[in-house]
Chains A and B, each alone.
Chain A
Amino acid sequence: MIVELGHFALILALAVAVIQGTLPMLGAARNHGPWMELARTAALGQVALVGLSFACLMYAYVVSDFSVVNVVRNSHSLKPMLYKVSGTWGNHEGSMLLWVLILALFGAAVAAWGRNLPPALKARTLAVQAWIAVGFYLFILLTSNPFVRMLPPPADGLGLNPLLQDPGLAFHPPLLYLGYVGFSIVFSFAIAALIEGRVDAAWARWVRPWTLSAWAFLTAGIALGSWWAYYELGWGGWWFWDPVENASFLPWLTGTALLHSAIVVEKRETLKAWTIFLAIVTFGLSLLGTFLVRSGVLTSVHAFATDPTRGVFILLLLVIVLGGSFALFAWRGPQLAGGGLFRPVSREGGLLLNNLILCTAAAAVLLGTLYPLMLEAVGGGKVSVGPPFFNAVFVPLMVPLIIAMAVGPLLPWKRGDLGGALQRLWIAGAAAAVAGAWAWTRDMSTLLGLLGMAMAAWLLVGTLVELAGRIQLFRAPVTESLRRLVGLPRSAIGMTLAHAGLAIALVGMTGDSVWKLESIQVTAPGETVTVGRHSYTFEGAREVTGPNYLAIRGSFRVERDGRPVTTLEPERRRYPVERGETTEAAIHPTWLGDLYVTLGDSQGGEGAFVTRIYFNPFIVWLWTGVGLMVGGGLVSLADRRLRVGAPAPRRARATAPSPSAPATETVTP
C-alpha cells in the first residue's frame, strides 16, 4: 500500500510539474500575477509529493519489503540499518528518485526564499525547473520505476554491493547530487534571463548563492568519493580519471569558472552572455554525466546497471534540454551586450584568464573522456585514454592557473598594475623558492615535487598577502587590522579560504604523487617491516564477525625510533549474501603522511599473509584543503549581500521600476 502511495505521489508530482511549467510561464508573458504566483505553490507541492514518494521507497527498504523488485535486488534483511537507508539510493532507480527529489528541493528553495526576486523572473525560473523535472519524472516512470512489485515475494533480498556498504559511500551520492543537480537552478535562472532578454548585476547577485551552494556541495561530493576510494580500494589511490569521475569533475570545472565569471557580471556588468553560456554548460555537463553513467556507452568501474533504452531516453532529454537552451542562447545571446570596460591587466582580465584555463581544462577532460567513443564511431579503431593522457594535459594547464590565482585578487577592477602586484608578491615568490628547493633536496629524480610544492607555497602565501593587504596588517595597529578582519565581507573571507584551501590540497596531491612509499610482502606473525621511519610488526590475524560479514582482522604494532605510535588493524571482509569481498585499510593519519596498511591473502600457512604497507605523504592536507574550499564556499554564502532572501539592495530599488536597471546605461555618454 505504502509503495503504491509512493508511486502515485510520483505521478501526481509529474502532473504538478506540468502545471508549474506552463501556467507561470504564460503568466510571466502576460503579466498575470496569480498565474505567476502559482509557481511558488506548485514548487512547494512538488517537493512535498516527491519527498513523500522518496520516503515511501525508503520505508520499503527499512522494513525490507521484498515484494518490491528494487528492494529485492539491492537489499537484504540482515543489512545494518544505515545501509538499508542508503540502499534507497544505492541503485539506479532509487538514485534517480533522489535526483528528482533534489531537483524539486532546489525549486522549492527558490520558491520559499526567493521573495526578493521579481515575480516574472521567479515564475520563469521555476517553470524551467519544472520542465527539467517533467523530463526526469517521465524517465523514472517509463524506464526506471522503483515501485514495481514482485509477486510472490522472495524470502530475502540479493543484498547491496559490499563496496557500497560504507559510511563514506552512503553519503557520497546525496552530496554529489546536491551539487550536480544544484546547478539546475542556476541553469533555470539563466534560461529565464534569456527569455527575458536581460542579465544584469542584480541577476548575478540573485544567482550567486545558488551557484555557491551547488559548487560547495559538488566539491564536497567529489572529495567524499575520492576519500572513499582512498581508504576502501586498498592501495591509497584517490583519483583515477575514470570516465564517471570525469563526469563529476567536468561540471566542477565549468561551475568554478561560472562562479568567477558571475562576479564580473555582478561587479562590472560584462561577460553576460559568457556567464549564461557557462550556466547552461555546467548543468549540461551534469546531464551528460548522468547519461554517461546510466547508458553504458563508456566502460567504467562505476558502470552500474546500464541499459540502452535508458541511454536513449537520457540522450533525448539531453538533446532537448541542451538543444533548446543553446538555440535560445543563439537567438538571445547576441543581445546581451556587456557594459563595463577594462584593461587586460585588471581583476576582470584575471578572472577571464581563470575562465579560459578552467574551460580549456574542462574541454580537454571532455575530449579525453569521449575520444574513444568518437574514434570508434567513425571507424578509427579502439583506443583507451587513461591517466597518463589526462595528467599530461591537465597538469600543465594548472600551472598558469595557480600562478594567476595569486596575482588576480591583487589587481583592482578596470585597470591594474602588474608590476605593483608582483612586487607585493615577493614574499610568495621567496616562499615558492624555499618550498621548491626543499622538495628538490628530498628527491632529485623528478621535477614534479619541486613544481607542486613551489606552486602550493606561492598560492598560499600569495593568498595571505592579499588578506594582509585588505586588513592592513603591519601597516596599521594590530587592533585596527583585527577590526578590519572582522569587518571584511564574508565573500572576501570565503575567497581567501577557498584559494588557501586549494594551495593546501596541492601539497597533499603533490606529496602523495611524488613521495609515496610502498612495501608489499608476505609477513608471518612476529615479523617486522620497516617503511620510511616507521616499523610495522605483524602480530597475527584473527577472525571476527560483523553484522552481515565475516572478517579477518590483522594487527600491526607501529613504532617510530623504538617508540610506539599506534596499532593498525586492517580487515578483509567477506559478505556471504552478496558473495563479495572488501578490503578495509587501517590508516593512521598524521600531518606528515598517512600510515596505511592492508591485509591480502593468507599465504604459505602458519598465519602468514600478504601485507601491503604504504606511507602516503601529506595526504591529510588534501582532505583539509578541500574542506577549506567547501568552507570558503559556505562562508561566502553567508555574505550579507548574497544571503538568500535578503532584501534587494536599496540602490537597485531606487532605480525602479525595473529593480535592476543596468548601471552603465546612465554613464554612457
Chain B
Amino acid sequence: MTGLPVSSKAPPPAGMSSGGGLRARLPFLIPLVVLAVIAAYFYVGLGRDPHVVPSVLIDQPVPDLALPPILGRDRGLTTADLKGEVSLLNVFGSWCVACRVEHPLLMALAEQGVVPIHGVNWREPTPEAGPNWLDRLGDPYTLVGADPDSRAAIALGVAGAPETFVIDAAGMIRYKHTGPITPDDWERTLWPIIRKLQAE
C-alpha cells in the first residue's frame, strides 16, 4: 500500500507539518516499544502453566507434623520419621483421580524398595475411605498419616493432590513435584535427585 493521500496533488492540508526531527518523533515510538516488551512477555508466558505454584519450602526443614494414624493402623507420621534417610512424602486422597493415575508407579517403586515413600492421606470424606482405597489398590507407603483438616497440607504449602516432596536424610525438603509422577518425571527428574541425595 502506498499510503499516499488522495489529496496529495492538492496543497498539503494545514496542520500537517513536516513532522520535525528525531526528538519530535521520539514520543511517537514509545507505543511500539511498549508493545514489543509486552508481546515478548506474553510469548514467554504462553509456555507456562499458570496453575503450577513453585514451593517456597525448598531447602527448608519439614514443618512440625504429628499426624495420627489412618483407621486400622497403629502408627501415624511425625517429622522425626522423616529424618535419617532420603525419602518421598506423597500427599494423596482417595477422592483424587490423578492419585489413582500415579498409584501404579508408586507401587512399583515400593516393590523395588529404592526409596521409602511416606503418605499424607489428605482430607478424606470418611475415616474409612483412605484405608479402603489402600486395601483395594495396594499400599505403597512405609508410613501413612491422616490429615483430615488440612493442617499438614497447609504447613507443607500443598494446593492440590498429588504432590510429592523429596526429603533428604537431614529432614530437609529438597524438591517438590506437583501432579502425578509419570515414568518420565521419575526417570528424568526425581530419581536423579534422589540418587544424588542418597550419595551425599
Q: Do any CB atoms of chain A lie under 8 A from CB atoms of chain B in the complex?
A: yes
Q: Chain A residues in contact with chain B, CB under 8 A?
A: 25-26, 28-29, 31, 120, 195-198, 200, 269, 272-273, 277, 280-281, 284, 291, 295-299, 308, 311-312, 315, 318-319, 322-323, 326-330, 333-339, 370, 373-374, 376-377, 381-382, 657-658, 661-662, 664-665, 668
B45 surroundings in chain A (CB, below 8 A): 297, 373, 376-377
Is the beta-carbon distance between A330 and B35 smaller than 8 angstroms?
Answer: no
- Are A327 and B50 in contact (CB-based, < 8 A)? no
Contacts of B5 in A (CB 8 A): 120, 195-198
Known: A315-B39, A319-B39. 19 other contacts (CB 8 A): A25-B1, A29-B2, A29-B4, A195-B1, A284-B35, A297-B46, A311-B46, A323-B39, A326-B32, A328-B3, A329-B31, A330-B31, A330-B32, A334-B17, A373-B45, A382-B53, A658-B7, A662-B13, A662-B15
Nearest-Cβ distance from residue B59 to partner chain A, whole angstroms: 15
Interface residue B25 (Cβ < 8 Å from any Cβ of A): yes
Cβ contact within 8 Å between A376 and B1: no
Residues of A within 8 A of B51 (CB): 299
A-B contact count (CB 8 A): 124
Q: Is the CB of A277 within 8 A of B13?
A: no
What is the CA–CA distance of A373 and B32 in the complex, to the nearest angstrom? 20
Quick check: B16 and A330 within 8 Å, CB to CB?
no
A195 to B1, CA, bound (A): 9
On whether the beta carbons of A120 and B48 are closer than 8 Å, the reply is no
What residue of chain B has the Cβ atom nearest to residue A322's Cβ? B35
Cβ A200 vs Cβ B6 within 8 A: no
Q: How far is the CA of A580 from the CA of B52 in the complex (A)?
A: 25
Report the minimum CB–CB distance from A652 to chain B (whole Å): 13
Which residue in chain B gives the minimum CB-CB distance to A123?
B6
B34 closest partner in A (C-beta) = A326
User: Dominant SS at the A interface?
Assistant: helix
Nearest B-chain residue to A281, judged by Cβ = B31
Report the separation of the CA atoms of residues A377 and B45 in the bound assembly, to the nearest whole angstrom: 6
Highest count of chain B CB atoms <10 Å: which of A328, A329, A335: A335
| Contacting residues, chain A, for B47 (C-beta < 8 A) | 308
Question: With the chains together, A373 CA to B47 CA distance in Å?
Answer: 11
Which residues of chain A are within 8 angstroms of B15 by Cβ–Cβ distance? Answer: 200, 269, 272, 336-339, 662, 664-665
Q: Is B13 a contact of A658 with CB atoms below 8 Å?
A: yes
Distance in angstroms from A143 CB to nearest chain B CB is 14
From residue B173, how far is it (CB to closest CB) to chain A in Å?
17
Q: Is the CB of A335 within 8 A of B48?
A: no
**Chain B, interface residues (CB within 8 Å), range:** 35 or more
Q: List 26 A-B contacts (CB under 8 A).
A: A26-B1, A196-B7, A197-B13, A200-B13, A273-B28, A284-B35, A295-B46, A296-B50, A297-B42, A297-B46, A315-B39, A323-B35, A323-B36, A323-B39, A326-B32, A328-B3, A373-B41, A373-B45, A377-B44, A377-B45, A382-B53, A657-B7, A658-B10, A661-B14, A665-B13, A668-B14
A48 to B146, CA, bound (A): 63
The answer for the CA separation of A295 and B48 in the assembled complex, in Å, is 11
Task: Assess whether B35 is in contact with A335, with CB atoms less than 8 Å apart.
Answer: no
CA A319 to CA B32, docked complex, whole Å: 10
The yes or no answer to B199 lying at the interface (CB within 8 A) is no
Q: Which residues of A contact B2 (CB under 8 A)?
A: 29
B160 interface hit (Cβ, 8 Å) = no
Q: How far is the CA of A295 from the CA of B41 in the complex (A)?
A: 13
CB-CB under 8 A from A337, the residues of chain B are: 15-17
The yes or no answer to B84 lying at the interface (CB within 8 A) is: no
* Bound complex: CA A297 to CA B2 (Å): 37
The 6 A-B residue pairs whose C-beta atoms are closest, nearest first, are A665-B14, A334-B19, A377-B44, A297-B45, A333-B28, A120-B6
Expressed in whole angstroms, the Cα–Cα distance for A537 and B111 within the complex equals 61
**Is B54 part of the contact surface with A, judged by Cβ < 8 Å?**
yes
Q: Are B32 and A334 in contact (CB under 8 A)?
A: no
Determine which of B17, B19, B35, B41 lies in contact with A374 in the assembled complex, contact meaning CB atoms within 8 Å: B41
User: Within 8 Å of chain A (Cβ to Cβ): is B29?
Assistant: yes
